[in-house]
Amino acid sequence: MSESLLEEPGRITRKSYTTDEERRQRVVAAAWRVICRDGITAASLRTIAKEMGATAGLVTRYFPEKQGLMLAALQQAAGMLSREVETAAAAHTGMARVEAAVLGALPVMQPRFLAWQVWVAFMAELPGDPDLGVAHNVFPDRLRQILIQGLREAQLEGRIASQAHTPQLADMLLNQIIGVGVRAVNAPQRYPANRLPGLIAPFFAQMVRQ
């Protein structure tokens, strides 16, 4: 999602963008802004239309019901976070891949921080909604896959003990990442972006052979 869409509400009409997909993306971006500022409960179709400077009819053209728009917003957030991790880790192997994936996952820059805000906001909405659950798991599941890959490579390189169970290590590290990310979203002044990598570093020190 374009960062400009997230930061500049502007006013939208059916002629504002050349394709339906561009207009649909603008609606989802407005939903992100409302969710990040006011929460999911306040993110009605009417409120999102007002955020865009558009009519409710334009929003309902792409999302007739709030549930569909909320699912699209979550899918965008989880997809963005997954791609950030994939891009960061792609050029590395072993522990370098793991470290790059961690840095690529943490909410240390915009709009990744906004994606984390949206992703965290939906945690309370998951019980009883399997569609949201599937969408929400896309990010941690992909991150876990990349962590396991890097840890197995590191194990073959002798950086990690041969008897270590890499999926378990990946789960432990994943829990650390999510915990730090949630704290950063909920208390950004206490957990600023420049502090986040250092909160994960002690776990690396325990994991890697000296």
| 74-207 fold | Tetracycline Repressor; domain 2 (1.10.357)
Does the pLDDT at position 103 exceed 70? yes
Q: What's residue 202's pLDDT?
A: 87
This prediction has a pTM of 0.90
Mutual orientation of helices 166-186 and 130-156 as an angle, nearest 10°? Answer: 130
Give pLDDT tens digits for 53-99.
Answer: 999 999 999 999 999 999 999 999 999 999 999 999 999 999 999 99
Q: Helices (H) and strands (E) in the chain — how many of each?
A: 10, 0
Which residues of the chain does CATH 1.10.10 include?
3-64
Burial label for 24, CB within 10 Å (0-12, 13-18, 19+), is middle
CA dist 178 and 105 (Å) reads 9
CA dist 11 and 8 (Å) reads 9
Which residues of the chain does CATH 1.10.357.10 include?
74-207
Give pLDDT tens digits for 120-134.
Answer: 999 999 999 999 999
Give pLDDT tens digits for 7-17.
Answer: 554 444 555 55
Closest CA to 135 of 81, 84, 175, 62: 81
Q: If you classify domain 3-64 with CATH, what class do you get?
A: mainly alpha
